[in-house]
Structure 1
């Protein structure tokens, strides 16, 4: 099975980090700028076949701005619960995890992965059902983070949260009605930050498994933030606390 990753930055990052996944590089005919030339040279140095197509052919393959570069890739390996256990067993530092509960927009998934990579998150966990997957759109928005941050899909999120708690990982959920702000919470140590879907928030069962709930204080008229923005605020407050 194959998939497509598109956009100059996303394709370049993939060639740099996981060139074995790239089956072919498709370049728009007539594009001869420096970034395209460097991309073609990199692909050929990795033994990747480069093919040239009219723009309409590339437009038909992907839903978004490809910038003249589309990589045909082997589908990314989807990690499961067992992979999460293996990852946690190998960590030499307190786990720093992110759960996305019900985030269905691939743009938001990609943005959260990108932020998670920047924050040093060890893994992002999503439920198998009612969640966006790492498709071409999410990969482009992630700008390569889909290749560097383990994305773990679990069948039963509630069961996974119980397992994390049994490992001594503190479960911090986000909820607008919480009386405690993210700046008041202790986000050091073994931590799993849980973000809910935009608008609906976390599912009830997910909320019930949290050790604590926090909110992001809002000073203006807007009642909530986009989930990827809220994720960035919370993750980097955790980073601040974990590095002082």
Structure 2
């Protein structure tokens, strides 16, 4: 008998568990993603085109709730997956060599909800990808996948050891590196022009580190009201990406 309060494993960094219909169906549809196990209610799994080799376990909602964090909105479906293969920054830059899609660089943004939401906005506004540090960013997880609403499967995510060095490589590829900070003298609209843009955003609360700011070509702010001090980093990313998409 299980001890009171005991919960089974919720997945690991090497085998995260995704939950929610958008996150799981996107993982199943991604040829680059390996899905190892699937649990679901009969209602949730109806109509899904599942590989015959995929182990599937039918379960009720209460059992599924024990496979994921407390109160996670699993929507009747949970999957255990392999993380995606790592992507090199040089390869990502080469993919976007002939277009003007923006790149998003995150400086120690560690909240998985924010990273997931930024991935979702990146997909919505057709960003080339996101770049984070490998040690100061969340791993792939159910929380990231849920917040990304499927975008984790379609937006390239590059992890680098040294962010300053990565910003230098980004500049060499022709990107104009614009760091968002409320202390900047000019707004984003006044700085972006028509060049290829790499948006650089800092951590929740602390903002960009000084060395990261030093590796930006220009700093810019969003024209928000004095009634609020700052925006959540994922909201700021979405607004900035819209501004880039709406350039005349």
The equivalent position to 1:23 in structure 2, one of 36, 39, 59, is 36
- 226-235 or 127-136, which moves further after superposition? 127-136
Report how far residue 37 of structure 1 moved.
Answer: 1.2
For residues 118-148 of structure 1, the C-alpha deviation after alignment (integer angstroms, 9 at most, x for no partner) is 1111110001122222211101111111111
User: Which residue pairs with 1:114 in the alignment?
Assistant: 120
Whether the aligned pair in 2 keeps the contact of 1:84 and 1:152 (CA below 8 Å) is: yes
CA contact (8 A) 1:25 1:43 kept: no
Q: Does 1:38 align with 2:43?
A: no
What pairs up with 1:217-228 in 2 under 5 angstroms?
217-228=223-234
TM-score, scaled relative to structure 2: 0.87
Query: 5+ unaligned residues in a row in structure 2: which ranges?
Result: 1-13
- Once residues 20 and 197 of structure 1 are traced to their aligned partners in structure 2, the CA distance between those partners, rounded to angstroms, is 29
Residue equivalent to 1:240: 246
Alignment pair present for 1:213 and 2:211: no
Structure 1 stretches of at least 4 aligned residues deviating more than 3 Å after TM superposition? 54-57
- Corresponding residue pairs, total: 232
Q: Which has the higher helix share?
A: 1
From 6, 16, 19, the equivalent of 1:3 is: 16
> What is the CA–CA distance in structure 2 between the aligned matches of 1:96 and 1:238, rounded to whole Å?
8
The separation in 2 between residues aligned to 1:187 and 1:100, in whole angstroms, is: 22
* Aligned equivalent of 2:73: 65
- Contact 2:115–2:144, Cα closer than 8 Å, also in 1: yes
Q: Which runs of 5+ in 1 are unaligned?
A: none
Q: For the residues of structure 1 that align with 2:92 and 2:234, how far apart are their CA atoms?
A: 24
From 76, 85, 99, the counterpart of 2:90: 85
The equivalent position to 2:188 in structure 1, one of 175, 182, 192, is: 182
Calculate the TM-score normalised by the size of structure 1: 0.88
Contact 1:110 1:134 in 2 (8 A): no
